[in-house]
């Protein structure tokens, strides 16, 4: 099948607002007023949780179809823990990113509890965003263009 | 400052469409028609790239303010490589997630090339989503609720 390259672009607008585009779709990120933002969108770490939840849901639909698993409903609640001292202060020994992400799966399916367990485990294993988060990925700075 | 817990929820709708909510904001993920989706939003791996780009832009604004760096424009182009065989076929030895992510930074600032380089490096280091992706994060399945 070969390697497939996905693309996106993020443009810093006024204050903390960011316009993020992939293909024909745009989503806005921002910070709340309490962080001196203009509160026009969720923040990027919430967006990361949404990417994970969305990917698990789509993986569930995809695997249900290919495995003839009778999936009726799938919903994911996500939590991620951050220590703001890492980002805001660059505190020594405190990572700026998530320290842990927790996923609770709400599922309705015409299957036994054991089959459901196996299905949810497979969803977590095959989910591209989940795999990226669990194992990490090299983020390479290609170059800097001064404009 | 203590640990701060971010939350989000993803709900699988018709086909591959997913409604993702954090606080009062909702963003839609979907797959294009070529993937048998209904093309109502970007896909989750594109959303992950957007979360990274947004986080770099917001981190740039934040650091520019706190360091009195005269930042005028900041824009990030992102690419991520996937092998669909990992996700679609569960192919042995092929990870379902990104194999590499590349970031190109377009910046306008009243600063020397060296100061700009240092600033962009600091943005990459302090960015919470970038840190999470570079180092990975434990994704813990809390429990499964059958409905």
Per-residue pLDDT tens over the stretch A50-83: 999 999 999 999 999 999 999 999 999 999 999 9
Decide: A101 and B140 in contact? Cβ < 8 Å: yes
Tracing tokens 């190109």 back to the chain, one arrives at B104
Q: What is the pLDDT of residue A1?
A: 65
Decide: B58 and A48 in contact? Cβ < 8 Å: no
Decide: B111 and B38 in contact? Cβ < 8 Å: no
A97 φ, ψ (degrees, to nearest 5): -95, -170
Decide: B124 and A144 in contact? Cβ < 8 Å: no
Closest Cβ opposite residue A8 in set B50, B90, B125: B50
A83-A85-A88 Cα angle (round to 5): 120
Closest Cβ opposite residue A98 in set B18, B77, B132: B132
Q: Which two tokens stand for residue B15?
A: 């086909």
Chain B interface disruption, residue of A97, A101, A108, most B CBs within 10 A: A97
Confidence check on the interface: ipTM exceeds 0.90, yes or no: yes
A chain contacts of residue B4, beta-carbon cutoff 8 Å: 81-84
Query: What sign has the CA pseudo-torsion B108, B130, B101, A127?
Result: negative
Q: Which two tokens stand for residue B107?
A: 């910046």
Q: Could you give the CA distance from residue B118 to residue B66 in angstroms, rounded to a whole number? A: 15
B chain contacts of residue A54, beta-carbon cutoff 8 Å: 10, 18, 20, 29, 44, 47
Q: Could you give the CA distance from residue A107 to residue A94 in angstroms, rounded to a whole number? A: 36
Question: Which B residues 61-90 touch A at CB under 8 Å?
Answer: 61-62, 73-88, 90
pTM over 0.90: yes
Across the interface, whether the CB atoms of A22 and B46 are under 8 A apart is answered yes
Supply the mean pLDDT for chain A.
95
Give chain A's domains with CATH numbers. 42-135 (3.30.300.20)
Q: A97 CA to chain B: closest CA distance, Å?
A: 4
Supply the mean pLDDT for chain B.
95
Cα nearest neighbour of B131 on chain A: A97
pLDDT in tens, B12-65: 999 999 999 999 999 999 999 999 999 999 999 999 999 999 999 999 999 999
């Amino acid at each position: 099948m070969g390697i497939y390259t996905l693309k996106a672009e993020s443009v810093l607008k006024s204050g903390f607002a960011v316009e993020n585009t992939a293909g024909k779709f745009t989503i806005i990120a921002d910070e709340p007023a309490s962080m001196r933002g203009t509160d026009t969108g969720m923040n990027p770490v919430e967006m990361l949780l949404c990417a994970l939840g969305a990917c698990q849901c789509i993986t569930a639909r995809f695997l249900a179809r290919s495995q003839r698993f009778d999936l009726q409903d799938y919903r994911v609640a996500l939590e991620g823990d951050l220590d703001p001292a890492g980002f805001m202060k660059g505190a020594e020994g405190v990572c700026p990113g998530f320290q842990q992400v927790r996923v609770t799966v709400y599922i309705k399916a015409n299957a036994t509890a054991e089959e459901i367990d196996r299905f949810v485990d497979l969803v977590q294993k095959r989910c591209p965003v989940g795999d990226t988060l669990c194992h990490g990925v090299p983020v390479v700075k290609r170059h800097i263009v001064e404009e």
